[in-house]
Amino acid sequence: MNAANGKTVLVTGGGAGIGRAVVDRFIAEGASVGVLERSAAHVQDLAAAHGDRVCAVLGDATSRADNERAVAETVTAFGGVDVLVACVGVFDYFASIVDVPSETVEEAFDELYGTNVKGMVLAVKAALPHLLARDGAIVLTASNAAFNTAGGGFLYTSSKFAVRGLVEQLAYELAPKIRVNAVAPGGTPSDLPGLKSLGQDGLRLRDVPGIESLISGSNPLGVVCAPEDHAGAYVYLASNEQARTVTGTVLRSDGGLGVRGLAQAGGLTDTTAPAPA
């Protein structure tokens, strides 16, 4: 396991969930990793787990200054940045535009888009000079909600469609120096937080009643994704050796949600389906 040997990776939102799995995997693959993380406890845990292989910076991914500081401290610790991975995100817990009060919509929009979209733009902008210097790679985090309805509410789903657009536009603008891609995880029980503006800040995805059955019942493979299931996709897309021809792509790690119409019709498990013509 040395797909990232000698590389320096900066991960925003790398303290828990998918972000933490990504950090652990890159370190296992030989990388040194900078992390921007807003939880002091997660910062301490990263340092305890990985020692001098990680440079964990306490800060907010929605802050331009904190993104710039994370880049600067990573460069000081490891000499540069080869790969940027943006894993930071918040969820709207399927909030419907019908149910969100008019006086709350603006605040909720700003809170979610400030993290899920602006936070990624700020990270890219901060790391860009170093990525250009090393013909680097960017891997953003989309979601199955970037392709399908009902993967979140109107705020979350629209924000992940925005991430898809960001991937394609940045891939166009930054070629041929930097490859830009994303991973779209399927439902993954984790500590993904809700919106304070909607009174959801105490919610965590892993605590939603019946979440595992909901996830496994919605994808053709019948899997409940774990954060570690997605980490290899980030490593692959980050590698100029393994994925040097890949840019502007969103790799779906969702148990086959894109073909769930076939699964609902029975697919290979339905012995009553007519034989193919």
- The conformation of residue 114, written as its DSSP 8-state character, comes to I
Give the pLDDT score at 266: 42
**Catalytic residue numbers, as ranges:** 156
For the beta carbon of residue 123, count every other beta carbon within 10 angstroms.
29
Homologous superfamily (CATH) of 8-269 is NAD(P)-binding Rossmann-like Domain (3.40.50.720)
Q: What DSSP string describes 214-265? A: HHHTTSTT-----HHHHHHHHHHHH-TTTSTT--S-EEEESSSGGGHHHHHT
* Burial group, residue 271, by CB count within 10 angstroms (0-12, 13-18, 19+): exposed
Angle at 21 between CA 19 and CA 26, to 5 degrees: 95
CB contact at 8 A, 18 and 88? no
Ordered by start, the domain boundaries in the chain are 8-269
Give the pLDDT score at 259: 87
Give the pLDDT score at 267: 40
Q: Residue 214 CA to chain centroid, in angstroms?
A: 21
Give the pLDDT score at 207: 86
CB contact at 8 A, 139 and 88? no
Give the pLDDT score at 168: 98
Give the pLDDT score at 265: 41
What is the pTM for the complete model shown?
Answer: 0.93
Written as tens digits, the pLDDT of the chain (277 aa) is: 699 999 999 999 999 999 999 999 999 999 999 999 999 999 999 999 999 999 999 999 999 999 999 999 999 999 999 999 999 999 999 999 999 999 999 999 999 999 999 999 999 999 999 999 999 999 999 999 999 898 999 999 999 999 999 999 999 999 999 999 999 999 999 999 999 999 998 999 888 888 999 899 989 999 999 999 999 999 999 999 999 999 999 999 999 998 875 445 444 433 333 333 3
Helix (H, G, I), strand (E, B) or coil at 180: strand
